[in-house]
Amino acid sequence: MGTTTEKRQRREAWGSLRKLPSKRWQARYPGPDGTVYSARTEDDKPLTFLTKGDARAWLNRMHDRIARGEWLPPEEAARRRRAEAESAAIRDVTFREYAEQWLVRIAHEPGKGGKPRRPATVLAYRGRVNNYLMEPLGDVRVRDIDTTRVGALTARLVALPSVLKPGAKHNGVAGDAVDTLKMILRAAVRDGILTAMPGVPTPARKSVRHDDGHTPEDDVATPSQVDALYTAVQEPWRIAVLLAAWCQLRRGEVLGLQRRDIVWDAERKAATLYVRRQKNGTTGKLADPKSDMGVRSMAVPPHMIDRLREHLEGRVASGPTAPVVPTEARGRQHLSATRWNAVWSEARKAVDGLPDGYRFHDLRHTGLTRFAQEGATLAELMRRGGHADVNVVLRYQKATMQRDIDLAARMSATVEEELRRDGVKSA
């Protein structure tokens, strides 16, 4: 018996083997850190062996690994292997996989200004990814997307024909699609997947609706044209034309108005309009205005007061939350953007002199231009229009400057008249 013990000790001079009740074999060994370890798999799970020979072979391999200085505690070794596998997977992630991760991420992470992105914004990004980026880039590894590849894709996008206006020189989608691609690639650089941003400029955004000779002034309707549009739209929706033109509301703001948003004076001869929400054209839900500046109040111009009062009394349901532009007279549902677009498309055909494809949004442009011509400052225009970016309002600066020229001429005439009256010759 003593001889048998000595032979087993010689065979297992280092480590030990033990037969388990399951008839499988367990191997144990002393680690360099002084701790005795049982055999573990590469992902740090318990490891046993079918035969004693298999267990002894594993024990010998572990002894060699320790002798070569390659040993790590099983938990640490498993952690490093997981990290290496994750790193390899990240390095090989395709654009399709990463773009999907990015779309999920931006739906929950704050955007510019620290605020969550609106669902409609995320849907717009998803549309650009699915419609313009997935087909050429979906199976490409993100780390292989370079300047050459992005440049070729950009050229391809610019060359696409316009869906909105066949034959147009521009398609209206290339700039937005490339910008979305750059947002994804910038995130990939931050995540360490892409080493550097491809150096390709974003294509210029040009109007699809008009040729190069078109100017913003061409989209300013005359008061007579606004009135003709009002008449061309059926009831109970025609008030939307006046709200867009003379209260300078966006489409979603018009469709989101409720009875409580219009507050009358004691004699019901004047009213203040409050913008507190919008109807999202993508989701169809009521939502906050486009920005903090979008929450605003404004005086309703006197020339539309009678029509507004008549509309509220005859076509809007009772109750503070009744929609001002309902699906039907005295209805409780807000008119959808899709249905309004169809109504608008028919109405604009009935009015002479409007540019082809005249947009409902151009009525807002009309109203803000007239407001500028009356001498409104940029700050007043921003407040009236609910703009958060002064650069957007600068388009009305020309109208403001024309008003300034007129005022300067009137001042000059008055000064010259007083000088003549006083017998003083002007220079």
CA dihedral 235, 236, 239, 243 (to 10 degrees): -140
Alpha carbon distances (Å) from 182 to 120, 178, 236, 413: 19, 6, 45, 56
Number of H helices, E strands in the chain: 17, 8
The pLDDT assigned to 417 comes to 86
Task: Supply the pLDDT for residue 80.
Answer: 87
- Domain parsing of the chain, residue ranges: 2-76, 95-190, 221-360
Chunk the chain into consecutive blocks of 10 residues (it has 427) and report each block's average pLDDT, rounded to whole numbers.
41 84 95 94 93 94 93 91 74 91 91 79 93 95 94 94 76 91 94 90 74 67 94 96 96 97 93 95 87 91 95 97 97 95 94 89 93 86 89 77 74 84 70
Q: Could you tell me the two tokens for 210? A: 């008009």
Residue 161's pLDDT is 87
Given a contact cutoff of 8 angstroms between Cβ atoms, the answer to whether 118 and 159 are in contact is: no
DSSP string, 77-128: HHHHHHHHHHHHHHHT-BHHHHHHHHHHHHTTSB-GGGPBPPHHHHHHHHHH
Q: Report pLDDT for 8.
A: 42
- Do the domains 95-190 and 221-360 sit in the same CATH topology, yes or no? no
Tell me the pTM: 0.63
CATH among 1.10.540, 1.10.10, 1.10.150, 2.60.120 for 95-190 = 1.10.150
Stated as kind and residue range, the H or E segment containing 17 is strand 16-19
DSSP-derived letter for residue 41 is: -
As a whole number of angstroms, the distance between CA 141 and CA 161 comes to: 28
Identity of residue 64: D
d(CA 367, CA 354): 15
List the one residue out of 23, 15, 21 whose CA is nearest residue 39.
15
| Residue 181 · residue 201 · CB < 8 Å | no
- The CATH class, in words, for 221-360 is mainly alpha
- Contact indicator for 287, 246 with CB cutoff of 8 Å: no
Q: What is the pLDDT of residue 425?
A: 64
Q: What is the pLDDT of residue 278?
A: 95
Q: Is the peptide bond before 236 cis (omega within 30 degrees of 0)?
A: yes
Q: How far apart are CA 39 and CA 74, in angstroms?
A: 9
* H-run or E-run covering 287: strand 286-287
Residue 355 has phi, psi (to 5 degrees) of -60, 155
The predicted pLDDT at position 208 comes to 64
3-state secondary structure of 14: coil
Q: Which residue has the tokens 């009305």?
A: 396
Task: Give the residue from 88, 70, 69, 77 showing the smallest Cα distance to 41.
Answer: 77
Interatomic CA distance for residues 294 and 292, integer angstroms: 5
Q: State the Cα–Cα distance between residues 25 and 110, nearest whole angstrom.
A: 55
Whether the CB-CB separation of 337 and 251 falls below 8 Å is answered with yes
List, as one string, the DSSP characters of 196-216: S----PPPPP--SSS-TT--G
Q: Look at the chain and count its residues.
A: 427
pLDDT for the residue 216: 61
Q: How many CA atoms lie within 13 A of 387 on its CB side?
A: 19
What is the per-residue pLDDT for 214? 57
- 299: burial class by Cβ within 10 Å (0-12, 13-18, 19+)? exposed
